[in-house]
Amino acid sequence: MSTPTEQQNDKEITIARTFDAPRALVWKYWTETTLIEKWFGPQGFNTRVEKNDLKQGGRLRYVMIGPDGKEYPSEGTILELKEGEKIVSTDEFGEDFDAGGADLPSGMITTTLFEDENGKTKVTIRISHPTIEDKMKHEKMGVIDGYNSQLDKLVELLKNEGN
C-alpha cells in the first residue's frame, strides 16, 4: 500500500490510494453490498447499505452508524458506470441526516477511478463541489480523514483476503 495522497483545487477534493490487490478484487469490495458493509465508514463506524443498484441511473443509499448509535445517511444516483474502471454518482446527505443545525454541503459529484498499477490497484476518488464554500464545509466535517480512515479498513480486509 502506498501513502494516501490528497490534492485539492478550488472546488474538488481528491484522495488516492494504491491497494496491494488486483483491480477485480478491489472493485468487488467497492461494489458488493455485503463487502461494502465491512469497510465503508471511518474507524469505529458500521455501515448499513439500504440501496445498491449498481447501474447507470441506479440509486445508492448507505447509512453509517457512529459508535454512539447515531445514523448518518447518504444517498446518490449513479451517473456513469464502467465495470471495473469507474463510478460517477451524485453524493448527498440523506433527507433524514441530522446535522445538528450545521449547514451541510450539497450538490456533490463523486468520481471513483480504478486503475492497474504494477500488479496493484490505484483508486482515485474525486469529490466535486458546486462552490468553494461547499468544499470548505465538507473539509470542515472531516471528509479527508474519514475517507482515509475507511480506506485503511479496506487495506486490512484486502490484506486478509490473501490469507
What's the confidence (pLDDT) of residue 85? Answer: 98
Query: Distance between alpha carbon 74 and the CA centroid of its chain, in Å?
Result: 10
| Three-state secondary structure string covering 51-93 | EECCCCCCEEEEEEECCCCCEEEEEEEEEEEECCCEEEEEEEE
Output the pTM of the full model.
Answer: 0.90
Q: One digit per residue, pLDDT tens: the chain, 163 residues?
A: 444 444 456 899 999 999 999 999 999 999 999 999 999 999 999 999 999 999 999 999 999 999 999 999 999 999 999 999 999 999 998 788 877 777 888 899 999 999 999 999 999 999 999 999 999 999 998 999 999 999 999 999 999 886 5
What pLDDT is stored for residue 162 in this prediction? 63
Residue 83's pLDDT is what?
96
Helix (H) or strand (E) holding 17: strand 12-19
Residues listed for the chain = 163
Rounded CA-CA distance 30/147 in Å is 13
**Cell of residue 118, nine digits:** 504494477
43's grid cell: 474507524
Sheet containing 59-65: give its strands across.
Answer: 5-8, 12-19, 120-128, 108-117, 86-93, 71-82, 59-65, 46-52
Determine the Cα–Cα distance for residues 42 and 54; give it in Å rounded to an integer.
23
CATH architecture classification, 5-161: 2-Layer Sandwich (3.30)
Look up residue 128 and give its three cell numbers: 466535486
Helix (H, G, I), strand (E, B) or coil at 127: strand
What is the crossing angle of helices 143-161 and 23-31, to 10°? Answer: 120
Q: 8 with 138: CB under 8 angstroms?
A: no
